[in-house]
Amino acid sequence: MNPILSDKIALNIDDDAKVSVKGFIVPIEHTQSNYHMEFEWEELANFRVDVPEKVYSASVFRAFLPDAAVSVGNPWQIEDAGALELLRQLHPNPRLDMRDYGDPGLWACLRAYTDEFADIVFRIHTEFKLGDGWFTPSQLTGHLIINRLTETVSFFQMRLPDGPVNFEVGWEDERSWCDSNWIADTGFCAQMELRAGAEDVLRDITTLYRYGSPTESFKGIYSPDEAPQRGAMSVEEAERVLNCQFYKSEQINWVSMEAALELAQAQQKPIHAISIDGPLADEAC
């Protein structure tokens, strides 16, 4: 019979272990206005991963672990130093303060665990200094899966999420039509990612969790007394927990237009509608 895990769990890592991390940045083919092509901004046109593969001491990932025991859904701040060391594999000049623009921060939360694995979901806001300008990802998000038995990294992924627009750029050029000589643009990068380990463990730990009783996912595999103990929330719920650390607007209980119309009629209240042409919850303006 597997031991019953407490509501809160402590997470640790073997600092002496080694982790090989691969980095990827695919060429940026276009932006919304393609100003970088018109004005020949080579730093963006030639934006590539700085170190395609690097071996780290596992201690760098300690920055992503909480200082104390946590429950599923509890958020905590990631330490800057460890995050910056990994970000420099993508580009040598990352910056976390966002130059006092946007919403800086590095947050993680425990999404799920079994007696063997723990899945940490995280979100990082950063920028990269490219020559005379800046590259601002919408966010960098991902998973860190720790093997709780061996205290090793089973899987790590930090990536730029997909989306029609997932980065913003700005650079200084005297040919700009603006008095400040700054040119701004937005665009799409198909892959910007750091990865280590086998993705199978992420797929398995995601598939493993179902709402309901702890044994619901294991009917026909284990007897009730032998079923692995676990706690979990969905990836979407974990992402919302992290979003709320960055944006007050995410703390609003948003409803669909259909639900809003029903509520307005039931409560005899008017609807105040606002139309926007971009997401509220990322840094790609």
In three state form, how does the secondary structure of 100-115 look? HCCCCEEEEEEEEEEC
Residues 200 and 37: their CA atoms lie apart, in Å, by 39
| The most confident of 32-36, 144-148, 203-207, 237-241, by mean pLDDT | 144-148
Q: Is 285 inside any structural domain?
A: no
Estimate the share of the chain in helix, then strand, then coil, as percent rounded to the nearest 5. 25, 30, 45
Q: Is 6 inside any structural domain?
A: no
Q: Is 273 inside any structural domain?
A: no
How many structural domains are present in the chain?
Answer: 1
Q: Is 270 inside any structural domain?
A: no
Least confident of 10-24, 207-221, 238-252, 266-280: 207-221
Domain hosting residue 179, numbered range: 18-245
Give the tokens for residue 134: 């800046």
Contact (CB, 8 A) for 61 and 82: yes
Q: Is 278 inside any structural domain?
A: no
pTM over 0.85: no
Per-residue pLDDT band for 44 (boundaries 50, 70, 90) equals: confident
Q: Is 43 inside any structural domain?
A: yes
Q: Is 251 inside any structural domain?
A: no
Strands, E assignment, 165-210: 167-172, 182-187, 192-197
Q: Is 257 inside any structural domain?
A: no
| The most confident of 69-73, 101-105, 192-196, 260-264, by mean pLDDT | 192-196
